[in-house]
Amino acid sequence: MLCLLCTFVVAAQGADEVKDARRPFFSPDEKQWIREHPVIRVLAFDASAPMSFIDKKLNFSGISADLLTMVRIRTGLNFVVSDVSSFEALSEKIAAGEADMVAGIPTGHLPELRYSRVWLTSKYVLLTRSKTPAVRTLDGLSDRFVAVREGSLIARYLAAQYPQIKMIGTRSLTEAVDMLSAGQVDAAIGIEANTDYQIRRIGRDKIDISSLQGVNPLHVAFGVSAAAPELLSILDKVLDTIPDNDYQRLGSGWRYEGGAFWQRWRQHLWQIGVPTTMVLILSLLWGLSLRRQVKQRTRMQLRLKEQLTYMYNIMHAVPWPMVVRNLEGKMIDCNARFLAEMKVARGDVLGETIDVLPLPEYLKRGFRHDYVNVIETGRPQMGDRVLALDHSTKPRTVFHWIIPFHDSDGAIGGVCGGWMDVTEREELVQQLNDARDEALASSRAKSNFLSVMSHEIRTPLNAILGILELQIKQNVKEHHSQPMLEVAHDAAKNLLTVVGDILDIARIESGRMAIEPQKEDLIALTRSVVLLFQEATDQKQISIDLRVIGGNTCLLKIDPCRYKQILSNLLSNAIKFTHEGGIEVILQHQPTSDGRVEVALTVKDTGIGITPEDQQRLFKPFTQLGMEGENSRLGTGLGLFICRTLCDLMKGTLSLTSAPGEGTTVVLQLCLPAAIASVAKPLDKTPRSKSLTTVKRVLIVDDYPPNLMLLRHQLEFLGHRVSEAQNGEEALTLWRMYDNFDYALIDCNMPVMDGFTLAQRLRAEERENDRERATLLGFTAIAQEEVIEQCLAAGMDGCLFKPCSQEEIAKWIK
């Protein structure tokens, strides 16, 4: 590929012309653009004489080169010219951004370019060899070989409008004329501006030129990249300053002089040679005509043979059975795979209908019906079907297709069909379905097991924790020492944490772990969690501090329960492995311009630290650190995994840095929607009894006697009057006997009548007897959101999860 500076030959035509050139008026922006872009990258065709070409001295020449010289004289721009040989190469370079403009291109040829004013308009002409019948229309070129520049506008036009013309693509008009002169094509098409040059090169007695009717003329201009609108404006202004006689001089200045000798002596040689060559022409004319016909017939026969061979190879290379039948259902052809599947010989089935094939009668009827349907409708038919052969004991599932084919007139000539064995696919699909059903059943069994486990553990655990809590409070009032009770109480709380972690893991695995954001003050929320751990740090004689950066209030939308769960887990781990020093909690918040708040929560301790090996597996489920000490094996190893999962659900990150003996730093980063502070005082959503008395009448319903006893003692400790029932029927009887119950605590899972049904019956009793509405609270060991929804749907006002502390009960019953 040649690359030439436009200071090449055309730029050396003399600097004196600069003084005489008419300079156009450029705007300040255009002048500035010229100063910033002194060199322009230009693409030009290398063989489009005389428009643009590379001469024998490897210089860029032609009308385009002369125009660029004029542009250089009037603007001072220099041009780096790269030659291309085809429109395809030109389009690729333009798309790659390797050029700023194109020197001489038909307007509208490339939509990605912007075009200057037209500086050459030339009509299309038809070139034929002399002594051949004249053709002036495109219709007259049907079934003839015509040389046209590949990728040109006229080539596109002929391909779209005259497909019957056999186009031969060439690199240039020069190549097309050479092919025409050599008899390789019947005609060539070009523009008048270029053909005059070619005729002079070949000789006017060899080529006839005629105007091409019905085709719009070609307009040639500079093509400019869309990224350089200033260059387009500069070129248009320069072209406007060039006089018309200069344009005419450009067009007439390019003439081929190689045939000067022939031009001078042509007439003499013609007069002498005519008598001599006439006899040879007449004697060879018939032979040439016959030779041409033989060559055309041989070429057509070769193409037909190649096409037949190609179709045969395709049909027999396909690994599936294929068959072709005519309109009467008789076989025209089939491949070897079809014969092998049917176990028949080709001679036994060619020209025969489907009746000769070893198929059950019901399949033959089905195939005949499908053939007729496809031929009548013209629509292909495809789908799975069961194929049974007489010589096979096992039916197979196949994907079968029948497609119509058309003859040269466009009419349906028959059908071609075949099939592909998909038995293994069907068996695999069935296996996948079975595996899916088994996995779903296993998942349901696991969920049911966790639900039952939660209920069966939380129910007695509620009694244990509640009784221990009551006894501890009683001992505090009586000033008795109670270290063993506190140890038992802490152990029961740890067991409750284990159950909660396992349920969270189940929710995560099932995809039912959800985030429910609501408006909260993050600073107050964080401070409340830190205060909960104050007693634990005091017992270990370590400090815990909260530092807030970014302001005293931080209102945003966050799930408070999940946030407290994350922070509680981080603080619990920090306290567990810190024996001296302290823990620092840093809350940093910063509002963003899009109405969100960036939050960074850092928990930093001076504990024993974590090795790099342990950090690699720290966030995996059921992972505990290999540390020594009494706390090294406490817990399930699920806390940090759950924290990382909750952070992901909040679209946040949780990172940890640590080193042995240097403590641990955990950073939680979130970006949450900001919340607007409410002007009105928020309503107290805690259900309250309509009774104004301090002592409330409470009905408790539970089928587990220890829990029933615990609830009675907890409520009596709070000063309330209690009635008991062990199932729904007993509770309904008590409800009807007494009409002054303020509250009812109802176990959701009971024999005889469950809590949901009981709540519905109690609400119905209130409506029918016009009783004052009481507060109904569900009481369950199944700590799942679905249970809360069931309670509310049954008419309850809320739901308490076992184990439930006395303080939680007191929040509802006041």
pLDDT along the chain (814 residues), means of 10: 37 37 78 91 81 77 86 90 85 88 87 89 85 75 87 84 88 84 88 76 78 82 90 90 76 51 57 78 84 89 85 80 90 88 88 89 88 91 85 82 88 90 83 84 70 66 71 67 65 65 66 79 89 86 92 87 86 88 93 91 90 74 52 53 84 89 91 72 42 76 86 87 91 86 91 91 90 91 80 92 82 82
Question: What pLDDT, on the 0 to 100 scale, is given for residue 455?
Answer: 61
The number of CA neighbours under 13 Å toward the Cβ of 518 is 5
Structural domains in the chain?
3-120+220-253 (3.40.190.10), 124-216 (3.40.190.10), 318-421 (3.30.450.20), 514-673 (3.30.565.10), 697-812 (3.40.50.2300)
Determine the Cα–Cα distance for residues 312 and 141; give it in Å rounded to an integer.
33
Token duo for residue 388 = 């049974």
Amino acid at site 255: R
Structural contact between residues 168 and 146, judged by C-beta atoms closer than 8 angstroms? yes
Determine the Cα–Cα distance for residues 412 and 372; give it in Å rounded to an integer.
12
Q: Which helix (H) or strand (E) holds 575?
A: helix 560-576
- Crossing angle (nearest 10°) for helices 639-649 and 560-576: 150
Sign of CA dihedral 477, 478, 484, 485: negative
**What Cα–Cα distance (Å) separates residue 808 from each residue in 46, 164, 195, 328?**
91, 91, 100, 87
Question: What pLDDT, on the 0 to 100 scale, is given for residue 404?
Answer: 93
What are 277's strand-pairing partners?
Answer: none
Instruction: Specify the pTM.
Output: 0.40
How many CB atoms sit inside 10 A of residue 365's CB?
12
Q: Which of 498, 499, 660 shows the shortest CA–CA distance to 577?
A: 660
Determine the Cα–Cα distance for residues 39 and 52; give it in Å rounded to an integer.
20
Structural contact between residues 575 and 641, judged by C-beta atoms closer than 8 angstroms? no
Question: What pLDDT, on the 0 to 100 scale, is given for residue 691?
Answer: 44
Question: What pLDDT, on the 0 to 100 scale, is given for residue 629?
Answer: 46
Phi, psi of 533 (to 5 degrees): -95, 5
Would you give the DSSP letter of residue 674?
B
Torsion of CA 221, 224, 229, 231, to 10 degrees: -80
Residues 483-514 as b/e (b if ≥16 CB within 10 A, e otherwise) read eebeebbeebeebbbebbbebbbbbbeeeebe
Which residue is it, tokens 């998942």?
Answer: 443
